[in-house]
Amino acid sequence: MNNVDIFSSTKEKTVATWVKFLKAGDSVQGTYVGKITGSRDGFGGEQVIYQILKDGEVVNVGFGINKKVIIQEMEKAKFGQIVGFKYKGKLPIKNKVGVMVEVKDFGLYLDPKLVDTEWLKENAGCMPETAHVKTNFSKETESVNKEFSNFGVSESSPVPSNDAPSSVTPEDKLAIITKLAHDKLGVTDATLVKDQVMTVTGIAFLPTHYDIIISALKSIGQ
């Protein structure tokens, strides 16, 4: 074993990067090499992560479990198959309380005949399996849930009180607004929170307005 050079015999284990879909038409394609379930996104919502081998590197593509069509169609895909995801743009829909919101719309491209033969050959007999993780909330999410508790609201409750204790910082309030935007407006992309909240409430998105924004979001659906 002393004659083994691990550095030349194996590849460095690296952490997969995340694909970001910023504008309509952004896409990613590659070899489907992994799947992770049970993970949590930045809102604390459950997501499914698909791992794609692209240009020699593995990248993560995550979808909330509300993206049922993509998740159901991906059940048909096999590891080693070439798959592609394309961001089609924002789609206006009515959420569960009748408020018009915009959600990201994605297209899935796959064909069982299109496979990575080289990858399949390299991994014959040792195919990956779907990984399930039990993710702990991040410190930020734990902080938000703690503040919800201070407001007399459980994690499962959709609306926190706006009677925030003095210890709540602007960052805490922003996290609360983000969760309210998710729960009340159906916003699943953190980058859309500001625009969606201003569109629905008509309130300028400023730290000095966070309390009234929380109050306005709380009142939706009541």
Mapping DSSP onto H, E and C, the string for the chain reads CCCCCHHHHCCCCCCCEECCCCCCCCEEEEEEEEEEEEEECCCCCEEEEEEEEECCEEEEEEEECCCHHHHHHHCCCCCCEEEEEEEEEEEEEECCCCCEEEEEEEEEEEEEEEECHHHHHHCCCCCCCCEECCCCCCHHHHHHHHHHHHCCCCCCCCCCCCCCCCCCCHHHHHHHHHHHHHHHHCCCCHHHHHHHHHHHHCCCCCHHHHHHHHHHHHHCCC
- With 60 as the cut, is the pLDDT of residue 159 above it? no
Q: What is the pLDDT of residues 172-209, one digit of tens each?
A: 888 888 888 888 888 877 778 888 888 888 888 888 88
More confident: 205 or 30: 30
CATH classification code of 9-132: 2.40.50.360
Residues of the chain with CATH 2.40.50.360: 9-132
- With 50 as the cut, is the pLDDT of residue 93 above it? yes
pLDDT, averaged across the chain: 81
